[in-house]
Amino acid sequence: MSASLPAAGQRLCVEIKGAVQGVGFRPFVYRLATELALTGWVINNSKGVFIEVEGDQAALDSFLERLSKEKPPRAIIHSLSADQRLPLGYKQFEIRHSEEHGAKTVLVLPDVATCPDCLAEVLTPSDRRAGYPFTNCTNCGPRFSIIQALPYDRPNTTMHHFKMCPACQAEYTNPLDRRFHAQPNACPVCGPQLEFVRRDAPQSPRPAALADAAAALSAGLIVAVKGLGGFHLMVDAVNAEAVARLRQRKHRTDKPLALMAPTIEQARALVEISPQAETLLTSAEAPIVLLPRRPNAPIAAGIAPGNPYVGVMLPYTPLHHLLLARFGRPVVATSGNLSDEPICIDNDEARQRLGHIADAFMLHNRPIQRHVDDSVAWLLEGETRLLRRARGFAPLPVLLRDDLPSILAVGAHLKNTVALSVKNQVFISQHIGDLETAESMHAFERVIADFLRLYEAEPVAIAHDLHPEYLSTKWTQEQLSIANDQLPMADDSTQSKIVNQKSKIAVQHHHAHLAACLAENGETGPALGIIWDGTGFGADGAIWGGEFLWGNAADFERVAHLRPFRLPGGDAAVKEPRRVALALLWEMFGQAALKRDDLPPIAALAAAERRLLGQMLAKGINAPVTTSAGRLFDGVAALIGLHQRVNFEGQAAMALEFAADPAESGAYPLPVNSQFAIRNSQFVLDWQPLLEAILADVRRGVSPAVISARFHNALVESMVAVARQVGQETVALSGGCFQNRLLTERAALALRQAGFKVLLHKHVPPNDGGISLGQIAVAAARLAGK
């Protein structure tokens, strides 16, 4: 980042935009200015940081150059502009109080993992913050989870309840201290405190809270721990009975559970950690990282059944460091909620919602303003890529090339996030989750109101999914109905920002995937989007999911797709891969499919079930048509006996991926039907020859490992074949199927070897967590008429 100076003048006015509040930027500017003997001032405002400095030309040149080169470690500069004016004769350099007027465009920093300096203080017995679980400074600690309004100052955070003691106040007001204007600054004398509560016993005195929590974990109890952005449910990761009890109470039968290891050394005993993985685990973002499990990892078998990967993170707050240091070994640290619900953030709410799960509660009295789950990341092609974007990353924006009108995007039905555009920045919310429960919808509405209030935005449009029955679509319709039927109350500012809209823009699900991948890669298109997932409402009313879309944010053509088949029972087929397998066989053999008792999915169906499903398929009743690649994975997994029913989304497809023999290079036939002219109609990937070959291998007793590998290889070859037919140089891979490492790595490699430029997701997930970004891009393009 650089800016040039005009030739003359000795007063320099600098405006910096980005993540420059709550990171020690003003004290950094103060120290730099005083070192260079410059006078003037620095201030936070609603856009970022504004600086005026006076001095000789050489000092001003040095100041401007060093602003970017030596900025604080957590600062992110998106733009820096400077101009020179006549000097005013400032006598000293000072830090001024923040300004609150003007459009809110400053970046809110995500919560930041404990820095080495703060951790050292916590672990030093003679330090005044020894053992204090809420230690922080300008380089670490809570940000997004405590901010209530901009600019980021203590009165605008949940820490405004805590009056600083003289020692903390002295740090807070000393520009040379690393806690200068550290808004959550606190110590044992004046800051938040812990308490430990068991369901069957009185609460612990505060000094004993950590020890009692560690003892409860050692006894095999489930402890709900209030952390940075919500509650974790923690249990001893070695104790198989305790893990099973947690699964039973949480209604999480098989889905993998995340682990928190006390140290990087103890994490190495659990998973294989490359240098890149260690950097990611120990980073300020500190996400959960999916890593290969060691064969004899000392953890309960029920942590991640049938999965060669384990999600591991390290402690990222002093509270976690202190608790795990006392406990001494890894714990399960899963979200403090019931499945399909948002995590708890309030003490009373946690006791109510988690009271039937947790045996004990580790609570504190620092309010959490908004829920922020742990982020989930993986390393793919040597780069960090997100699978769930939350703590450490949200709400940092994705930067686009051009300024956009203010648009609110309400995301997808599953893995929901919402997004808001402010000029060329798209602020994407933390992970909200599946909009399947009343609690999830309440969280969805809170996040929207939160974003509109925080950035004081008045969107000109709401972008939503094309599916008419999605709750997010219905919510959008309700807002516009309110706008048409009544005026908001004068003091209801949040409501007025929502209802005074001129338009709603429906965005096809897979088009949003394509647009999101283009946007985060800084591409305008056109591109061929290979968009494979489980479900998305198509432009023709069918359920799409195995799509090849050619286009950009403004428009698209569906140039190819998987051969359609039916889903008997609709959503029920998602939970029963055997139904999908039957539907595929029905397309091939008709009613004779019901007699294929030699195949695992048919054998798993009772006679009455076969008759009912056969009637659905024959009459097309409650059997919607789909082109879903996700369901094709399910059907193949059922055919080779891996899963006939699933307990969580993607379970059968994951089993199919993990079964694959990496050494197998063969591929089944998956012909691309080319009887239609390109861009006048569609190519169809005919899966029937593929399934015929799989059935032949099943009869011959070929192993599931070989069958799975040949299936994956067939999919990759079909992608390259369609890309060659279309002839578009840039290919974007998006959708939930590209959470499959084997598929993604092999597809990207094969496409590049064939001469194509491949775009993958990095900053937003390939799954539906990235849909809101795509909805913004599509809606903006339509509004612009591009």
Position 513 scores a pLDDT of 98
Which letter does DSSP use for residue 669 in this model? Answer: -
User: How many degrees, rounded to 5, is the angle at CA 91 between CA 85 and CA 93?
Assistant: 80
Q: How many helices (H) and strands (E) does the chain have?
A: 24, 29
User: How many degrees, rounded to 5, is the angle at CA 449 between CA 443 and CA 454?
Assistant: 120
Residues 354, 357, 363, 366: is their CA dihedral positive or negative? Answer: negative
Tell me: pLDDT of 454 over 60: yes
Quickly state the pLDDT bin for 326 (edges 50, 70, 90): very high
**C-alpha Rg value of the chain to the nearest Å:** 28
Position 73 scores a pLDDT of 82
User: How many degrees, rounded to 5, is the angle at CA 258 between CA 256 and CA 263?
Assistant: 145
CB 475 within 8 A of CB 438: no
In sequence order, what are the residues at sequence separation of 6 or more whose Cβ sits closer than 8 angstroms to the Cβ of residue 131?
122, 210, 322
β 397-404/259-260 pair status = unpaired
Average confidence score pLDDT of the chain: 91
Alpha-carbon gap, residue 574 to 429, rounded angstroms: 27
Q: What is the pLDDT of residues 583-617, one digit of tens each?
A: 999 999 999 999 999 999 999 999 999 999 999 99
Position 106 scores a pLDDT of 62
CB 461 within 8 A of CB 783: yes
Backbone angles phi, psi at 421, to 5 degrees: -95, 135
Which CA distances in Å does 231 have to 282, 354, 356, 433?
A: 21, 10, 15, 15
In the chain, the N- to C-terminal Cα span, in Å, equals 31
Alpha-carbon gap, residue 430 to 418, rounded angstroms: 8
Position 101 scores a pLDDT of 57
When mean pLDDT is compared across 34-43, 222-231, 587-596, 680-689, the lowest value belongs to 680-689
**Residue closest to 640 by CA, chosen among 624, 651, 656:** 656
Residue 631 tokens, joined: 């369901």
Taking residues 622-636, report their average pLDDT.
96
Position 491 scores a pLDDT of 38
Q: What is the pLDDT of residues 82-123, one digit of tens each?
A: 888 888 888 889 888 766 555 555 678 899 999 999 999 999
CB 273 within 8 A of CB 250: no
Q: What is the pLDDT of residues 284-307, one digit of tens each?
A: 999 999 999 999 999 999 999 999
Taking residues 39-44, report their average pLDDT.
89
Question: CB count, 10 Å around CB of 404?
Answer: 21
Position 497 scores a pLDDT of 53
Backbone angles phi, psi at 382, to 5 degrees: 75, 10
When mean pLDDT is compared across 13-27, 128-142, 269-283, 521-535, the lowest value belongs to 13-27
**3 state DSSP class of 700:** helix
Position 764 scores a pLDDT of 96
Alpha-carbon gap, residue 25 to 3, rounded angstroms: 18
**pLDDT top residue among 103 and 441:** 441
Position 102 scores a pLDDT of 53
CB 393 within 8 A of CB 109: no
Alpha-carbon gap, residue 155 to 301, rounded angstroms: 47
Question: CB count, 10 Å around CB of 533?
Answer: 27
Residue 645 tokens, joined: 């029913």
Tell me: pLDDT of 59 over 70: yes
Quickly state the pLDDT bin for 483 (edges 50, 70, 90): low
Which CA distances in Å does 174 have to 26, 73, 74?
A: 11, 19, 20
Chain centroid offset of residue 512 CA: 16
Residue 410 tokens, joined: 């309400």
DSSP string, 94-128: EEPPPP--S---SPPPPPBPPPHHHHHHHH-TTST
